[in-house]
Amino acid sequence: MLRRLISFRRPALTVKVRRPAVPGRMLPWLCLLLLLAVPLVASAASVQATLDRSTVQLGETVTLNLHIAGSGSAAMPDLGPLTQDFDILGSSQSSNLSIINGQRSAELVIGVVLRPKHVGTIVIPSLAVAGAQTAPLRLQVDPPNPATAAASGKSVFMEAEVKPRQAWVGEQLSYVVRLYVSGDITNGTLDAPQVGGVQLRQVGNDLRYDQMRGGRDYRVIERRYALVPQHAGTLTIPALGFQGVALDPNDPNSFFGAGMQVSASAPAQTVQVQAVPANWGQSAWLPARALSLTLTGWPDAGTPVRVGQPINLTMTLSATGLSADALPQLSLPAIQGATVYPDQPKTATAEDGAWLQGSVARGFAVVPERAGMLTLPATTLRWFDVTSGQERTAEIPACSIAVLPAAGMATSSSAAAPAAAPAAAVPATPAAAAREQGAPWRWIALASLLLWLLTVLMWWLWRRRAPRRPAAVVPGAAASDSVRQLKQAFLAVARGGDASAQLRALLAWAQAERPAIRHAGELDAALADGEQRQAIAALQRRCYGGAPATAGDDLVEVFQRGFAWRSEERKDDDGLPPLYPFKL
């Protein structure tokens, strides 16, 4: 039994040992994987990267060609490593299939259009293409040369210039970009300058004209900019780029979007910016190419000017190379014997030429306050001439004019002159002469005082008569605004001492609320408040009995809250006629 058991178990052990031979069934799959790997290894070995040119100028384009042998299609590789040094303008794919002596060969070419971003030697890094890595390439990028571009007959090229090459902080720079185009260009875009630390604005509209370069006609588009540096140091204006599509008139397909990509670039520019001179001080820094300060409106010596008559002046400041925002605020110096009323300033900046033309104009009204000589002091403005590098001063010279007395004063003086004429024949001492010169002013002062007193007297008489007009009482006026106005008028009169005016104002107010009331007796009968009735009785005694006012006659306090009317009017049963039958 033991032998039989052992012999029985051996086959089991043998079977277990031979079980790993099962992978032999996977041999076909392994062979298939090896067959698939063969084209991959072959293609990886045949990937190649080339450039159509090894040297270009900044602004030109170069094509990177990726050749994949033995394949008719492949995924677009990752072009991210190229974006640091290039602008990727587009890509395309083309495949070639050939059979030579019965042997078949295929090649796929991926073309990438690149535009360099800067000058120098640029290394195109290795790219992962179809599972393989390409070899690095070198590209030499030279600065753009418009003369070479024109001589070589290029259809598009650019120029750029900046003036001046050395400037001051706050000085305007003129930056001009010119685009030369020969032939038909569509979908063209021109970059705008991106410069840090400057104030930048386009000056005017684009200029368009024709010019011949290298024996070829070009259409020129000129664009101008005004740059104002804000900091000292080296200012770099980067290169500006242009790209578009050139149309071939001999190719009908080019008019349907199948033109050729063209590009150009303007060379970068550098300017040395100097700081404000250390000895300039606290005055406004005005670096300009030209500056003028003028004043108009000052009267001539023969033009009469009198006291109180305004003199309208206009001060204008104009500067070449500065905008209106950079110009200071205009003001007149203090003038003895006159008051100055300034107007709002008017600013403008012209952008027609290469240089900004800033201007500020402000009006002033100068009103003389006394007769005599009026002098406007000189006005000066310090500025810096950038063309000569020297400090200059714009000045409005001082000017004077004789101010005559006012028209009324002159008439009074002439009327008093004949009375003083006999005394002029007698030799006078200096003191007497001074008194004679002061006499007309005394006459003028006396006439003015009499005129004022006459005016006050006429006003007082008018005020005495005005309340007695029948039109002062508006019977039947029940509008709330009228009642409120009449109440306020009574309270204003009640603070005074005129009893007649107080009684008239009180009746006018009462008739606005109760039109049936004709006199003070009916008003007394219509009131329910005893204090108000006592006040009316006291007011009548003052008006008709001559009774003096007492400390308790405070009409404002009694009637401040309005009338206290009875619910029903009281009827007189004695049949006697009213005490005051007439209407006030």
DSSP per-residue letters across 190-210: EPPP--TTEEEEE-SSPEEEE
Contacts of 154 (CB under 8 A, 6+ apart): 182, 264
Contact 194, 205 (CB under 8 A): no
CATH number for 289-404 (one of 1.10.287, 2.160.20, 2.60.40, 2.40.50): it is 2.60.40
Predicted TM-score (pTM) of the model is 0.50
For 166, the 3-state DSSP assignment is: strand
Pair of tokens at residue 69: 């042998």
Contact 139, 247 (CB under 8 A): no
CA distances from 133 to 462, 478, 562 (A): 112, 104, 105
Contact 318, 330 (CB under 8 A): no
Contact 139, 124 (CB under 8 A): yes
Give the whole-angstrom CA distance, residue 112 versus residue 95.
15
Give the whole-angstrom CA distance, residue 360 versus residue 381.
14
Sheet strands side by side (includes 287-288): 287-288, 379-385, 390-396
Give the whole-angstrom CA distance, residue 177 versus residue 161.
7
pLDDT of residue 553: 64
Pair of tokens at residue 521: 């007796």
Contacts of 391 (CB under 8 A, 6+ apart): 382, 383, 384, 385
**210-213 — which CB contacts under 8 Å span 24+ positions?**
211/180, 213/146, 213/150, 213/180
For 307, the 3-state DSSP assignment is: coil
Q: What is the DSSP letter of 575?
A: -
State how beta strands 166-168 and 269-274 pair.
parallel
For residue 491, which phi and psi values (nearest 5 degrees)? -60, -35
Task: Give CA 532 to chain center in angstroms.
Answer: 66
How long is the chain? 584
Q: How far from each other are the two terminal CA atoms of the chain, in whole angstroms? A: 160
> Where does the chain hold its CATH 2.60.40 domain(s)?
44-142, 146-274, 289-404
Q: What is the DSSP letter of 123?
A: E
Contact 512, 488 (CB under 8 A): no
State how beta strands 103-116 and 287-288 pair.
unpaired
Query: Can you list the alpha helix ranges (DSSP code H) found in 97-165?
Result: 146-151
Pair of tokens at residue 573: 């049963």
Query: Would you state the CATH architecture of domain 44-142?
Result: Sandwich (2.60)
Residue type, 21: A
The per-residue pLDDT string of the chain (584 residues; one tens digit each, 9 = 90 and over) reads 333 333 333 333 333 434 444 455 555 555 555 555 444 444 444 788 898 878 887 767 788 998 888 766 778 888 888 988 888 878 888 877 777 777 777 788 888 988 888 888 999 998 888 888 888 999 988 877 666 665 566 788 999 999 999 999 999 999 999 999 988 887 788 888 888 889 999 998 888 888 888 778 888 999 999 999 999 999 999 988 888 888 776 665 555 555 778 888 888 899 999 999 989 988 899 999 999 999 999 998 888 899 988 999 999 999 999 999 999 999 999 999 999 999 999 999 987 678 999 999 999 999 999 999 999 999 999 999 999 999 999 999 999 999 999 876 544 444 444 433 433 333 434 444 444 444 566 778 788 888 888 888 888 787 766 544 433 444 444 457 788 888 888 888 888 888 888 888 899 989 888 898 888 888 888 998 988 898 888 888 888 777 776 644 688 888 988 999 987 544 444 444 444 443 33
Contact 132, 44 (CB under 8 A): yes
The reply to whether CATH 2.60.40 applies to domain 146-274 is yes
For residue 529, which phi and psi values (nearest 5 degrees)? -90, 125
Q: CA angle 316-322-325, nearest 5°?
A: 75
